[in-house]
């Protein structure tokens, strides 16, 4: 990649939750390590009528709250705050954009980050264009939700495309900024061990779990209109499927990697109304416990009745040569027993066990890629239990652990947005989602939703603190498969 750093980063939604929890702490982390371009200006904008000084002190308060104490250096934080300025703006009123233009020279390179409601995207882009804040050295990053179905995502993409060509449009899926997610590519394509086995001849099935212990977190207005399928599967989980299933890219550049991912997304087998009973389970949490504390059910938290799913489990297939007949079991939910994001690859058993005649059973190998809360890669292999074997050979499954945290103890673990913001500032779109990927994702998700509407699927209750409704267990057990918990 040839870095083409911008001289200004413009943050829309600069007083919002994402800015406080993730964006400002990430920018501070990059600054503290000398990774931001010298002289970078960070301009925040939102509706609140703040001046520069008030915004800087709110940013410092956000750093104190959200940056780990060991990384927060008062002198560096003060210097970082000095890079910030603030312009109050109602994005629905074109006139306000002139004030932004006075502070920003788009010809010197500008990266814009829209962390606002999608309903404001079009007005914001019009305002930017009207004020001359677009052009060949201006890039635009967009946070989800990018639509609620294929049609609405196309509307957003069309509105963006008027002012920003695809090469300068950076759609964020923060899972792609996670280190272990990127490590999937290294594991697969920098080792000769796995790739020859990475196909239907040797892999029995794949499981991907994204479990969260949190509930609504005060996001009812958004979440109730989205649900688990659109909130988590459409984006993060399908990106994980694409990275697990893709062919080796010709290069690790933005075009090659995304070309391979989109082929997988387009190969996802459509789930029709007749498949729903076998391939989809939805659930909604009822009152229960989380981290040992009693918690209310979804409807009580929300304050009104709702048929939105807070859990979904799916059996998906990637219809191509490599993956023919290999189920991909996906599940995600709120108020699960533990926070855990993991990819579990179940290999097939050895074709013939010579040990069977000596009384020993052989288990199939398994590869567990834990993404969070701990980063770890574990391969389960068979080993002989020491002994004289007078009563037969005994074999045992043992883990080969790649303890990422210990192996890279001297490497700081960065939050996903640090990587994504730096790539945006420097102009590398590889870890951002291309329009054709997003649309292939929505196309498949729309099919699932249409099928479950046709089949009249309703979420089944599960008590908070459980792994979803029991039907989710039956979904895999029917195939003789157990979820990896
Ligand atoms: C977001 C979803 O995209 O991802 C949230 O909107 C979810 O509902 C979050 O909690 C999970 O992200 P992470 O990085 O904590 O796994």
- Mutation to probe ligand 1, out of 231, 370, 371 (largest number of atoms < 8 A from CB): 231
| Strands (DSSP E) found in 311-365 | 311-317, 327-333, 340-347
Q: How far is the CA of 127 from the centre of ligand 1 (A)?
A: 30
In order of start, what are the domains of the chain with their CATH numbers?
A: 8-143 (3.40.50.720), 176-477 (3.30.360.10)
Q: Where are the alpha helices (DSSP H) in 216-344?
A: 220-228, 238-245, 254-266, 276-279, 298-302
Q: How far is the CA of 395 from the centre of ligand 1 (A)?
A: 40
CA proximity to 230, closest of 174, 141, 146: 146
Q: How far is the CA of 1 from the centre of ligand 1 (A)?
A: 29
pLDDT at 297: 98
482 is catalytic: no
Nearest CA to ligand 1 atom 15: 212
pLDDT at 452: 94
Q: What is the pLDDT along the chain (485 residues), one digit of tens a residue?
A: 568 999 999 999 999 999 999 999 999 999 999 999 999 999 999 999 999 999 999 999 999 999 999 999 999 999 999 999 999 999 999 989 999 999 999 999 999 999 998 889 999 999 999 999 999 999 999 998 899 999 999 999 999 999 999 999 999 999 999 988 999 999 999 999 999 999 999 999 999 999 999 999 989 999 999 999 999 999 999 999 999 999 999 999 999 999 999 999 999 999 999 999 999 999 999 999 998 999 999 999 999 999 999 999 999 999 999 999 999 999 999 999 999 999 999 999 999 988 888 888 899 999 999 999 988 999 999 999 999 988 889 999 999 998 877 888 888 888 899 999 999 999 999 999 999 999 999 999 999 999 999 999 999 999 999 999 999 999 999 999 999 98
User: Which ligand 1 atom sits nearest the alpha carbon of residue 341?
Assistant: 16
Structure tokens at 416: 């996903």
Peptide bond into 373 cis (omega under 30): yes
Q: CA torsion 468→472→477→478, rounded to 10°?
A: 170
pLDDT at 1: 56
Q: How far apart are CA 101 and CA 133, in angstroms?
A: 7
Q: How far apart are CA 297 and CA 284, in angstroms?
A: 8
Q: How far is the CA of 91 from the centre of ligand 1 (A)?
A: 26
User: Which ligand 1 atom sits nearest the alpha carbon of residue 223?
Assistant: 8
Q: Which of 236, 304, 317, 484 is labelled catalytic? A: 236
């Amino acid at each position: 990649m040839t870095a083409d750093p911008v001289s200004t980063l413009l943050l829309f939604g600069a007083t919002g939750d994402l800015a406080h929890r993730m964006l400002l702490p990430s920018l501070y982390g990059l600054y503290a390590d000398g990774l931001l371009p010298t002289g970078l200006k960070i301009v925040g904008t939102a509706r609140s009528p703040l001046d520069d000084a008030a915004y800087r002190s709110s940013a410092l308060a956000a750093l104190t709250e959200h940056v780990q104490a060991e990384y927060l250096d008062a002198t560096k934080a003060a210097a970082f705050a000095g890079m910030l300025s603030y312009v109050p703006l109602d994005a629905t009123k074109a006139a306000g954009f002139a004030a932004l233009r006075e502070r920003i020279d788009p010809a010197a390179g500008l990266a814009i980050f829209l962390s606002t409601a999608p309903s404001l995207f079009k007005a914001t882009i019009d305002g930017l264009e009207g004020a001359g804040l677009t052009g060949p050295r201006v890039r635009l990053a967009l946070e989800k939700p990018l639509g609620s179905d294929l049609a609405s995502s196309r509307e957003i993409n069309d509105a963006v495309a008027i002012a920003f060509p695809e090469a300068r449009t950076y759609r964020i899926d923060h899972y792609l900024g996670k280190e272990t997610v990127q490590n999937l590519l290294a594991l697969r394509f920098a080792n000769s061990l796995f790739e020859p086995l990475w196909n239907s001849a040797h892999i029995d099935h794949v499981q991907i779990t994204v479990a969260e212990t949190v509930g609504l977190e005060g996001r009812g207005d958004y979440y109730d209109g989205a649900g688990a399928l659109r909130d988590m599967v459409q984006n993060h989980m399908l990106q994980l499927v694409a990275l697990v299933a893709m062919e080796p890219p010709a290069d690790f550049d933005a075009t090659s990697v995304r070309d391979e991912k989109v082929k997988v997304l387009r190969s996802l087998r459509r789930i029709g109304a007749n498949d729903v009973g076998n391939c989809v389970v939805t659930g909604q949490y009822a009152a229960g416990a989380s981290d040992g504390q009693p918690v209310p059910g979804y409807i009580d938290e929300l304050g009104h009745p709702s048929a939105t799913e807070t859990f979904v489990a799916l059996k998906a297939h990637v219809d191509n040569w490599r993956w023919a007949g290999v189920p991909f079991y996906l599940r995600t939910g709120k108020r699960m027993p533990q926070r855990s994001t993991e990819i579990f690859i179940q290999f097939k058993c050895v074709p013939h066990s010579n040990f069977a005649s000596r009384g020993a059973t052989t288990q199939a190998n398994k590869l567990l890629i834990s993404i969070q809360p701990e980063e770890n890669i574990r391969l389960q292999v068979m080993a002989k239990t020491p002994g004289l074997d007078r009563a037969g050979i005994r074999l045992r499954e043992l883990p080969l652990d790649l303890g990422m945290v210990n192996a890279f103890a001297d490497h700081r673990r960065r939050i996903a947005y640090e990587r994504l913001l730096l790539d945006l500032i420097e102009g590398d779109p590889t870890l951002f989602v291309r329009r054709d990927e997003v649309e292939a994702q929505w196309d498949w998700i729309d099919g699932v939703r249409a099928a479950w509407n046709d089949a009249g699927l309703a979420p089944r209750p599960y008590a908070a603190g459980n792994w979803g409704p029991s039907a989710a267990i039956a979904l895999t057990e029917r195939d003789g498969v157990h979820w990896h918990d």
